[in-house]
Structure 1
């Protein structure tokens, strides 16, 4: 009797281990499907967006591997060479909506380019592509006669903070704004699913905390106190390792996807931009 129960328990353990291994393999192979949620738009929508304002220019960039990236430059026409903010969206964010938020970035032009697979951009998103694309986009912008290449600020939200940190480490930028950032995607996944060996299976690591000490530019961090997607402790961890001056605001009463509605959100960004200008 006991031998029969023991055999059943062993078989059950083997079965559970096999399921666990299959789950890990699936997470490794298909991880981009669990990380990125591309949002598409139509060509008509993009053209209508451009028609709405005389200062919106369509941007098409041929990346390092011939993948076409699509977006918009909302231009500050008050000066011959404008400071620039480059915005990197979240993992389910199509960035065209930010065109209508341009007035919050007074004195700056605003660059919005969708990741691969998002909006009208070609390709499929992976961390290595996003980082390389960001370099190509940056290099294209500093060639423009209407952009002040000495005054470029990078702004990332959620997974876009990983892209912003990566470009800030590589390029000569003027300041960094991070919205609901994390220290590394590995730590976020590990804290949520401790049974998953995230360090082993994640190719998309976005290890911002490793890069942070090398970056000396001023940083603004805005995090949501009640964020369940990326708990604010991840933002605090990153800020503590930053190599330059840091302003950090943990905003109460908002969550990951509603932080922009906090009364201090745009005011904090405005004050930061004025201070580093």
Structure 2
């Protein structure tokens, strides 16, 4: 084998290794330190620990509200649940819903290391805790995914959580592979990826009311991707664009209109026969 060919092989091996490192780093950016808890934001809560399917112990919070609806949160790729306290307060105070938010494996106080399969397992375990241990009727639960969590929410809606009342996706991407190719200027780096997180190929199978929210100034996930995910979903569905909204501030930038979009979904599921009273 000639020296130039060996050089090319070594370069490709190094490049693929670098891509694998970047893939994991970009997909999962957990932090362990908690910046606070719901009590500091005027919310009572229950500290929850439960086991995922493989025995990994996960940590979360159940925050009771005045509504019959509970929102099961599937958060984004960075930080931990304590980074969502401000928006959690909005859901509690503006909508009155209960919230169950938990950290995936490797995030916050949860054990383990994150992986695509692991996150899907963790969401199923959270659903089981909420419906079996807490006793919340499936028809009173809305699945809510943000960013990376949108793919986790879609997976849950297609499986164990298929009897939920509704699905809300905020700042969704079409797929991890399409997003990576776009980030690298069209270079087919997705050919070397192991992650899928495929919203565009799966959301069409979801059989529940769908709400998609996306800021038109999202610097992380293109606004157009959110529209594509919405277009691929089934009716009944609603798309709420947030003018000036970035990746994680739609609830702030959108103001009362943001909460009104949520209220429309709540009204739909509360008036349906599937919502237990």
Output the TM-score relative to the length of structure 1. Answer: 0.84
Structure 2 residue 178 is the aligned partner of structure 1 residue 197 = no
Residue 90 of structure 1: CA displacement? 1.0
Structure 2 residue 175 is the aligned partner of structure 1 residue 184 = yes
Provide, for residues 232-255 of structure 1, a one-character-per-residue CA deviation record: whole Å limited to 9, x for no partner.
Answer: 111111111112311112221122
SS in 1 for 2:29: coil
Q: Is residue 177–residue 196 contact of structure 2 (8 Å, CA) maintained in 1?
A: yes
Q: Is residue 172–residue 221 contact of structure 2 (8 Å, CA) maintained in 1?
A: yes
Provide, for residues 83-133 of structure 1, a one-character-per-residue CA deviation record: whole Å limited to 9, x for no partner.
Answer: 211011111142233343342563421001011111111111111000011
Structure 2 residue 78 is the aligned partner of structure 1 residue 92 = yes
1:108 equivalent among 81, 97, 106: 97
Number of the residue aligned with 1:221: 212
CA distance in 2, matches of 1:30, 1:248: 32
Q: Is residue 219–residue 247 contact of structure 1 (8 Å, CA) maintained in 2?
A: yes
Residue 257 of structure 1: CA displacement? 3.1
CA distance in 1, matches of 2:54, 2:240: 39
* Structure 2 residue runs without a partner (length 5+): 271-277
Residue 63 of structure 1: CA displacement? 1.2
Q: Is residue 183–residue 207 contact of structure 1 (8 Å, CA) maintained in 2?
A: yes
CA distance in 1, matches of 2:73, 2:110: 15
Q: Is residue 43–residue 63 contact of structure 2 (8 Å, CA) maintained in 1?
A: no
Number of the residue aligned with 1:25: 17
Q: Is residue 41–residue 89 contact of structure 2 (8 Å, CA) maintained in 1?
A: no
* Structure 1 residue runs without a partner (length 5+): 1-9
Structure 2 residue 265 is the aligned partner of structure 1 residue 272 = yes
CA distance in 1, matches of 2:79, 2:248: 11
SS in 2 for 1:210: coil
User: Where do residues 1-12 of structure 1 align in structure 2 (5 Å cutoff)?
Assistant: none
CA distance in 2, matches of 1:104, 1:221: 22
Task: Tell me how many residue pairs correspond in the alignment.
Answer: 261
Number of the residue aligned with 1:243: 234
